[in-house]
């Protein structure tokens, strides 16, 4: 008989304890984050999408060589001696036109190995993580700042220079002894 009344008492008591707890939680601020509008701040060293600051890039190709999955492809063209490419933010002189700097982020394994060798610290991980695409080709990011015409121009400039150098090399060969004679030809 005592257990009977004890049961009733426990049932009612625990019921009100439970109801008190749930009622309190009715007014506890929710932990839900309204995702697309509100985003949690990412950690400082988070590794997400790569970014290349082309103003600082000297086209040294070290990142592409460090990449274990070969997702970075770089092509460079030497500049004319007369051209001034400016300096990086750290004061290093740039000597190469970067005509191609593609990162296929679909291949990227987010190992950050490309970031450390960069001498100018121009390639780094950002906190952008929403970059889904409908086509896989959309994930191939191009960072080159030159447009197609400029690239073609730089390439032809370089080709011309090469051709001239080659011509200069080839031209003086028959008159090997006469050095001063070859010079005007090389300059022209």
> Which positions from 91 through 110 interact with other proteins, judged by CB under 8 A?
none
22 vs 137 by CB, closer to other proteins: 22
- x/- site string to other proteins, residues 24 to 63, per CB under 8 A? -xxxxxxxx-x-----------------------------
Of residues 6, 8, 69, 145, which one binds other proteins by CB under 8 A? 8
Alpha helices in the chain (DSSP H): 2-25, 62-66, 148-170, 179-187
26 vs 43 by CB, closer to other proteins: 26
29 vs 184 by CB, closer to other proteins: 29
d(C-alpha 157, C-alpha 151), whole Å: 10
Alpha helices in 54-178 (DSSP H): 62-66, 148-170
**Which residue in this structure is represented by tokens 């952008």?**
128
d(C-alpha 108, C-alpha 110), whole Å: 6
Contacts with other proteins, residue ranges (CB under 8 A): 7-8, 12, 15, 18-19, 21-23, 25-32, 34
């Amino acid at each position: 008989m005592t257990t009977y009344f004890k049961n009733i008492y426990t049932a009612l008591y625990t019921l009100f304890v439970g109801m008190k707890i749930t009622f309190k939680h009715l007014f506890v601020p929710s932990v839900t984050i309204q995702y697309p509008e509100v985003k949690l701040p990412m950690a400082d060293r988070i590794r997400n999408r790569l970014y290349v600051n082309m103003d600082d890039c000297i086209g040294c190709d070290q990142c592409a060589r460090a990449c274990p999955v070969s997702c970075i492809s770089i092509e460079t063209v030497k500049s004319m001696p007369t051209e001034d490419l400016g300096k990086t933010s750290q004061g290093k002189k740039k000597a190469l036109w970067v005509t191609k700097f593609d990162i296929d982020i679909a291949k990227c394994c987010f190992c950050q190995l490309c970031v450390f060798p960069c001498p100018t610290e121009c390639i780094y991980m950002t906190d952008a993580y929403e970059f889904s695409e409908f086509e896989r080709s959309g994930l191939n990011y191009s960072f080159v700042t030159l447009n197609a015409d400029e690239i073609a121009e730089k390439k032809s400039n370089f080709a011309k220079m090469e051709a001239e150098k080659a011509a200069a090399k080839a031209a003086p060969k028959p008159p090997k002894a006469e050095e001063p004679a070859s010079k005007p030809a090389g300059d022209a």
